[in-house]
Amino acid sequence: MTAMCDVAFLLLSFFIMTATAKQPEPKPVDTPASTVIDKLPDEGVAVITVGEKQAFLTIPGADVRRKTLERISAKYNVAFTEDEYKTFASMEGFGVPLNELKGLLKLEAAKRNEAGVQKGIPYDSINNQLGDWIKFTREAEKEKLDEEIAAGKEGVVYKDLDVAIKGDAKEDYPTIKRIIDILQEQKKNRFFLVTGLRDENF
Amino acid sequence: MAELNTGDGGGKKGKVRSKKSNPGVDLTAMVDLAFLLITFFMLTTTLAKPQSMPLAMPDKDPIDKTSTPIDESRLLTVLIGKDNKLMWYRGKFETPVEAPTEAVFGKDGIRKDLIKQIKIGKALAERDGKPEQGLIVNIKASDKASYKNLVDMLDEMAITHPQLYAIGDITPGEIDLLTKSGLY
């Protein structure tokens, strides 16, 4: 009995320690189910979340986020302060038009993910900010990898940034099609669709 | 079962102690809870990683413009309309080998048709002396389709394994066909 107790608590401590807290998402979506059981790669995946015609972007890695914002800042002529860079680097996912980004960065972390605060990155053909964000994220990821390779870090191989689309099951097809088109405009023909688990008897 | 041992652990000689009743502490509930938590953490840690479906789209403007024509009788087109309904035909749109047929999603709907068509496609490819080839499926979703429909269709592809599949753009003629059948 004592031994079993010990083992049980050892395992319990192990699982509690290794479990990572779920990051709050600005847009919780209900992904469609599929029988494909491939897992999404662990690191280096930019996730585009689409729900209710709104698009959100999750950029992997704090330094990549910072580099991306530097590029956005240069392209749209918007200057960001050092504090704003730091806040942005600590923010996982976001979904606001560029003119509202400063306002979002001023908010407290808990308030940012409240429903209705973020209303999506514009992705229409006239104001394709989402396309720019993805393009600059890819460039930033490349720069990061280049730096690592130049520094002689072991085990780093150059690969293009993986992109995953996490769409809501009820989202209509034209919206998703538009997102796919944005990716294809920058010759990103391979990407992932995030899905949920389907039961056996499908 | 589980008891704390409170027996005298070599008491001093000569001292006579009154015999105490053994206070047993029941650990069952605690261990139960511990195992419940273990189970919970084990399940949540492995399930948290999202699943994903890799998708490769054809290049929009390929540098290499030369394309090999494929046998159109091996080309199956699936049109996704509204209300989770779909329609499929094999061959050219104007002169289909197999006339447009309505179907629904799921294992009793499009799956049966697909398995049948894949067999036919395989037979056609073998007849032409290309046994490594087979049916080619072109998925065309209309504006009334939902994202779920698209993923369901891609899932069918992952289950039935045709030779190739791609997502294409729907043509006005095909939208007319869907409208006539009340699927648009």
**What DSSP state is assigned to residue A189?**
-
The pLDDT tens digits for B41-50 are: 877 776 566 7
Interface check for B118 against chain A (CB to CB < 8 A): the answer is no
CB contact under 8 A, B53 and A11: no
Inter-axis angle of helices A2-18 and B28-47, nearest 10: 30
Phi/psi at A126 (nearest 5 deg)?
-80, -45
Q: Is the pLDDT of residue A127 over 50?
A: yes
CA distance B137 to B147: 18
Task: Tell me if A198 and B155 make a contact (CB, 8 A cut-off).
Answer: yes
Q: What is the dihedral of CA A38, A41, A42, A43, to 10 degrees?
A: -170
Question: Do B53 and A193 make contact, defined as CB atoms within 8 angstroms?
Answer: yes
Contact B24, B3 (CB under 8 A): yes
Q: By CA distance, what is A37's nearest residue in B?
A: B51
Give the residue numbers spanning the domain of A125: 23-197
User: Are B142 and B181 within 8 A, CB to CB?
Assistant: no
The pLDDT value recorded for residue B170 is: 84
Q: Chain A within 8 Å of B38 (Cβ-Cβ)?
A: yes
Residue B10 has pLDDT above 60, yes or no: no
Q: How confident is the model at residue B11 (pLDDT cuts 50, 70, 90)?
A: very low
What local confidence, expressed as pLDDT, does residue B65 receive? Answer: 60
Contacts of B80 in chain A (CB under 8 A): 173
Question: Quick one: which of B84, B80, B101 has its CA closest to B143?
Answer: B80
Query: Could you tell me whether strands A93-94 and A54-58 are parallel, antiparallel, or unpaired per DSSP bridges?
Result: antiparallel
CA–CA min distance B175, chain A (Å): 14
Tens digit of pLDDT for each residue in B98-149?
888 888 888 888 888 888 888 888 888 888 777 788 888 888 888 888 888 8
Interval B139-160 mean pLDDT: 86
Alpha-carbon gap, residue A173 to A114, rounded angstroms: 27
CA-closest candidate to residue B161, choices B91, B111, B102 = B111
Cβ–Cβ below 8 Å for A38 and B148: no
How large is the ipTM? 0.78
- Is residue A94 within 8 Å of residue A120, measured between CB atoms? no
Contact B148 A169 (CB under 8 A): yes
A169: Cα separation from own chain's centroid: 18
H-run or E-run covering B80: strand B75-80
Question: Is CATH 3.30.420 the right assignment for the domain spanning B72-180?
Answer: yes
Reported as a single tens digit per residue, the pLDDT across A65-113 is 888 888 888 888 888 888 888 888 888 888 888 888 888 888 887 777 7
- Do the domain assignments include residue A9? no
Please state the domain count of chain A: 1
Q: Is the dihedral of CA A107, A110, A111, A117 positive or negative?
A: positive
* Range in A49-58, A128-137, B38-47, B58-67 the model is least confident about: B58-67
Q: Identify whether A18 is part of a domain.
A: no
What pLDDT does residue B4 have? 55
